[in-house]
Structure 1
Amino acid sequence: MQSPWEKYDQVLHYYWQSFRESAGVDARNQAGVLANIGVIYQLKKDNTNAISYLNKARSRFAALNEPMGLVICDNDLGETYSRMKQYDRAETSVQRALQAATQLGYTPGIISSLLSLGEIRLQTGRADESFQFFNKGLPLVEALKQQQGRLRVYKGLATAHAQTGDYANAYQFQSRWVALKDSVFNEKNTKKIAGVQAEYESEKKQAEIELLKKDQRVAQLWRNAVGAGLLAALIIAALVVSRQRLKIRNDQILLTQGKVVAEKNQQLETQTHLLENQAVVLTTQARQLQELDEAKTRFFTNVTHEFRTPLTLIIGTLSEKLHLMAENEETIIRRAEVSVMYRNAERLLHLITQLLDLSKLESGRLNLHRQTDDIKPLLNGVVSLFSSLAGQRHIRLSVQLSPESLSVSHDADQLEKVVTNLLANAFKFTPDGGEITVQATPVQLDGHGFVQVTVDDTGPGIAPEQADLVFERFYQGEASRADRQPGTGVGLSLVKEIIELHQGTIRIDSEPGAGARFVVRLPFVASDTSDKTVASLVLPRPRQTDRFFLAASPNHLPVAPPLIQGHDKRPLLLLVEDNDDVRTFLRDLMQPIYRVLESANGRQGLQLAQDYLPDLIISDWMMPDMDGIDLCYHIKIDEATSHIPFILLTALSSQDKRLTGLQTGADEYLTKPFDARELLIRSQNLIATRRQLHERFSRDIRIQPKDITVTSADEKFLARVMAIVEVNLGNADFTAEQFGQEVGLSRMQLHRKLVVLTGVAASDFIRLMRLKRAAQLLEGRTGSVSEIAYSVGFNSLSYFAKCFREQFGMLPTDYQGKTSAPV
Structure 2
Amino acid sequence: MNNVLIFILFSHILYSQNQTIENIHLHLEKSEHYFKATKYDSAYSHAKIAYDIANKLRDTKLKPQAALAISKSKIVDADEEFFQYLEEVIEQALHNKNVKLLADGYFVKGKMYYTVKDFGLALPYYIQVDSLSKKYNFDNETTIKAVLDRSEIARTNRTPEGRELAETLLNEALEKAKKENLMFYENLTYLYRADLEGLKGNYAAAKENIDNAFVYFKKEDHVRYLSRIYLLRTVYYNQMKQQDSAEISHKERIAYLIRKDDSEELAGAYIAFGSFHRRNNGDCNKALIEFSNATQIFEKIENKIGEKYLNLKLGIAQCLAELQDFENAYLNYQQAYTIRVELAKKNNNELTRNLETQYQTKNKEREIQLLQEKNNLEVKQKENQLLLFLGLLLIAGLTLLLLYFGYRNKVKTAKKIEELDIFKSNFFATISHELRTPLTLIKSPVQKLKSLMKDKEALPILDLVERNSDRMLALVNQMLDLSKLDKAELKLILKNENLEKYIKNLVAPFAFESKKKTILFKEEYYFKDSLHWFDKDVFDKIISNLLSNAIKYTPENETIAFYCTQNKDELHLKISNSGAKLSETEFKKIFHRFYQTDISEPGVGLGLSIVKELIKQYRGSIKTEYNNHTITFKVKLPLDPAKLKDISIITNTITKSDTIKKQKGKPEDKLFMLIIDDTEDIRFLLKQLFKETFTVLEAKNGKEGYKIAVDEVPDIIVSDVVMPVMDGIEMTKKLKQNEITSFIPIILLTAYPEDEAHIKALKAYADTYESKPFNNEILKAKVHQLIEERKLLRERFSQEIVIKPTNVVLNSVDERFLQKLQIILDKEIANAAFSTEDFAAEIGMSRMQLHRKLKSLTGYSAIDFFKHHRLLLAAQLLEIPKQNIAQVAYTTGFNDANYFAKCFKETFGESPSQYNKKFS
Same fold (TM over 0.5): no
Relative to its length, the structure with more helix (as a share) is 2
Query: Is the radius of gyration larger for structure 1 or structure 2?
Result: 1
Larger RCO of the pair (alpha carbons < 8 Å, separation 6+)? 1
TM-score in terms of structure 2 length:
0.27
